[in-house]
Amino acid sequence: MSILGVQIEEKIRDQHNNHNFALKITPMSKTMLAALFYEHGDASKIRVENVAIPKIDRDEVLIRVRYCALNRLDLFVRNGAPTLKIPLPHISGSDIVGTIEDVGENVANYEKGDLVAVNAVWFCNKCERCLEGEHSLCDEFKMIGEHLWGGFAQYTKVPARNLIKVPKNVDPQAVAALGLTTLTAWRMLKTKAKLSPGDVVVIPGAGGGLSTAAIQISKLLGAKVIALTSTERKMEVVKKLGADIVLNYKEEPNWGKKILELTNGRGADIVFESVGHATWQQSLRCLRKGGRLVTAGATTGFEGKTNIGAVFWLQLEILGSTMANMAEFKEAMELIFTGKLKPHIDKVFPLEQLADAQRYLEAGDHVGKILIEIP
């Protein structure tokens, strides 16, 4: 049944009331094109059709989306998980760049036509952690594109507090490509791991969007980077992004030991982890005494074998990180706006081909970011 069917008007409204998505669905509603899914599963579940444009509240803005980048998060949300409870149908997409179409009555400093980027962390701005400035630790933490409808649509709505204006001379594709990955990598390396000039940073899975951002940020902060990837094409790109040493983990399956050799037995100061199960054990192994492993993802699985003895004997630190607070978001965006970070965009797909784009991401042959252009 089409989402425009009047029969499901009340159901859709009820599903989204808790997330400020009270939609008025009628056959006469003004609509937008969106890519959504009605059930969890593979990419074949994605449908492109017309849905009602969200109605904004007084503290929100309506954004005409121009680009929305793909992330592994989108695959997780589409596939579903026992711990993920979201109302369906759902529109994912967290890396949003677009122009403001309408503003709520309480919104100041933004007006129609402003080009903006979105911090995908929804936060209450009232709880203890929010008042401390730690918005990604909010008691009511949600993600735009995960728990709330996101950017794979012509329009989306977000709280005005989640925005930053994009300067007119900045390419919106670059902002979409670098947005979420840059703010995540910035918090991981600067705030959590406290990277210092001269540190040795190991980056497994270096061909993805998050890792390519981490390479550039690490070099910007004065680190030496050892990157791990799997193909000649990816190795060439990673070298161009600034990695000092690039290893093919297929040719060096015992790469944890290799890194110890490359550092004369000392080990790495920091391991930037987003792969999870497949790399976890060796990531810990290659750390120096007092080294830090910082993680924000587990694309190959959430269970990793940990030698607890090594953790306390070598006094290792295992640090978790998720997204960023608004201060870190603005710091990360400034790196993009000033051109200190450069995007590597692998492909740009139209919204109608979102399913193909997600299959391409799942195949793992990309280097850098995949963008969705909204018609």
pLDDT at residue 20 is higher than 80 = no
Residues 166 and 335: their CA atoms lie apart, in Å, by 12
Confidence bin at 1 (pLDDT 50/70/90): very low
Q: By the 8 A CB rule, do 199 and 223 touch?
A: yes
Phi, psi of 100 (to 5 degrees): -75, 130
Q: Is the pLDDT of residue 260 over 90?
A: yes
pLDDT digits 0-9 by tens, 222-231: 999 999 998 8
Give yes or no for residue 7 having a pLDDT over 80: no
What's residue 10's pLDDT? Answer: 39
d(CA 104, CA 57): 6
Per-residue confidence (pLDDT) for residue 213, from 0 to 100: 92
Smallest CA-to-CA distance from 87 within 17, 141, 138, 183 is with 17
- Based on its alpha-carbon atoms, the radius of gyration of the chain, rounded to whole angstroms, reads 21
Mean pLDDT computed over 162-181 = 94
pLDDT of residue 342: 86
Percent of the chain predicted with pLDDT > 70:
92
Question: At 352, is the pLDDT very low, low, confident or very high (cuts 50, 70, 90)?
Answer: very high
Residue 3 has pLDDT above 60, yes or no: no
| pLDDT tens digits, one per residue of 140-169 | 999 999 999 999 999 999 999 999 999 999
- Given the structure tokens 């936060």, which residue do they identify? 123
List domains and CATH numbers for the chain. Answer: 6-166+345-373 (3.90.180.10), 181-320 (3.90.180.10)
What residue has token string 């992330």? 71
pLDDT-derived band at 299 (thresholds 50, 70, 90) equals confident
Region 198-219: mean pLDDT is 93
Tokens of 132: 């401390």
Report residue 372 CA to chain centroid gap: 14
**Residues written for the chain:** 375
Average pLDDT score, the chain: 91
CB count in 10 Å sphere of residue 24: 14
